[in-house]
Amino acid sequence: MKRAFAIILSAAMAVGAVAGFTVTAQAEEKVTVRILTRYSNPDNAREKYFMDKVAQFQEENPDIDLQDVSISDEESHDTLFKTSVAASDPIEVFNFLGYAANLDYVQNGVITDISGELEADPEWGASYIDALFAPVDYSAFGVDGIYGMPTPPYGVCCFYNAKIFEELGIEMPESWEAIEAAAPAIIEAGYIPMAFGAKDNYRAGHFLTALSMKMYGSDLNNALISGEKKWNDPEMLGLVQQMQDWYEAGLFGDNNLAYDANGELAKLEGEEAAIIFSGSWNIGTINGASNISDIVCKGFPYFESKPEFKDAWMGGPDDFMSMSSQPGDPDYDATLRVLKFFTSDDYYLGLYEALGGAGTYPINFEKTIEADALTTEFNDYYSVATDMIGEIEQFSPMTSLMDLVRTEVTTIFSGDSAEDIVNRIQDEVDYYNDSNA
């Protein structure tokens, strides 16, 4: 029998005994292992590579029924995992965000401590960059162990269609002040200054954190998490208000709730958008665009009025590959085999080669591939970062805060006001703090 799990999901406690895994007596017994990632779009180069590796594993391991239940949409992905936990049947291998926001999963035994397996097989993690494990180190909370293997680190950046700026005779703007100045001419020419696919609510969360870093560095993040600052204080209100002002001025185009992050990529390739804010994870896909010769990568825009935070970034470990099966479970060995396959040096070396050296990786390679132009441009900015954090809400033990902030900030695109948004967020934070006092 698998262990019974208890986990707080949002404000509710879901407790239950996990049903035992049953293997039907057949000529050839198989152990079922599910894997949940956000890699399910064959048009995305990195996701297509994962899907091909799933097929390879299935062919090479006939004793394991590997079921790929991946969903590209982040909100749907998270809902599926939470539902499996609430049903006391957590998916066996999955992307785990780590950080304090997911402490409950660790404390309640949903995530397996793999430190013993790493010690038993030192070659497994030998090539990994040690610093990337920090978000799954919960020793500060009195929990020992390692709770996942880092996936490729990332940075939130921007991709520009240089052809549009050349056509308009405008130098590609790298500061918000310059983007604001160029926006009217870009709009008049029929282009979107910066596409914003708000159908994926994580886009609002990413944008808000990246904007916060350019205005305040990590100071505001630290003040919000410690309670020194509130979400409806002038600092955060000002950031959300700025997003609302840019939206109302047409900087993000219109009909934003109708398209997602993939829609942003389509608008960049289709020459509808002059800029998209995205991330290093999309470099491999953009390299396959029909107009790749026109695309340039730059850092997320900074404020000329805040030069001290020009090189402050949203970035770091993307997430982690983790497992829920525990030693003694009938499916433990099979689950561990799956986890090791998708976090092996061979897996990342194959990805590195498949993408032609594009992007960033969690391991150090013995050989290097001459990087493509976008990767080189990205690294020119990324390598001089002076400060870097993940999404602000990840640092809070309030499990529901990430989805709350993302969802609330997205309502900008349906006509909500910045003041109402931050007030609702702070009301929920106050309720959480009072309930856990």
Question: For the residues of 222-261, what is the DSSP string, one character each?
Answer: HHHHHTSS-TTSHHHHHHHHHHHHHHHTTTT-S-GGG--H
Q: What is the mean pLDDT of residues 86-111?
A: 95
Q: Are 240 and 437 in contact (CB under 8 A)?
A: no
Instruction: Give me the helix-helix angle, 219-226 and 234-248, nearest 10°.
Output: 120
Q: What is the mean pLDDT of residues 419-424?
A: 98
User: Running DSSP on this structure, what letter comes out for residue 72?
Assistant: S
Half-sphere exposure of 37 (CA within 13 A, CB side): 24
Give the Cα separation of 340 and 146 in Å (integer). Answer: 14
Q: What is the mean pLDDT of residues 403-426?
A: 97
Three-class SS of residue 45?
helix
Taken in order 225, 227, 230, 233, is the CA torsion positive or negative?
Answer: negative
28 — pLDDT class (breaks 50, 70, 90): low
DSSP string, 175-196: BHHHHHHHHHHHHHTT-EEEE-
For residue range 36-70, list pLDDT tens digits in order: 999 999 988 899 999 999 999 999 999 999 999 99
174 — pLDDT class (breaks 50, 70, 90): very high
Half-sphere exposure of 362 (CA within 13 A, CB side): 28
What the chain holds in terms of domains, given with CATH numbers, is: 25-153+317-374 (3.40.190.10), 154-315+384-435 (3.40.190.10)
Give the Cα separation of 160 and 276 in Å (integer). Answer: 7
Q: What is the mean pLDDT of residues 330-352?
A: 97
User: Phi, psi (5° rounding) for residue 32?
Assistant: -85, 130
9 — pLDDT class (breaks 50, 70, 90): very low
**Token pair 């006939």 in the structure block, residue:** 62
- Average pLDDT over the chain, rounded to whole? 92
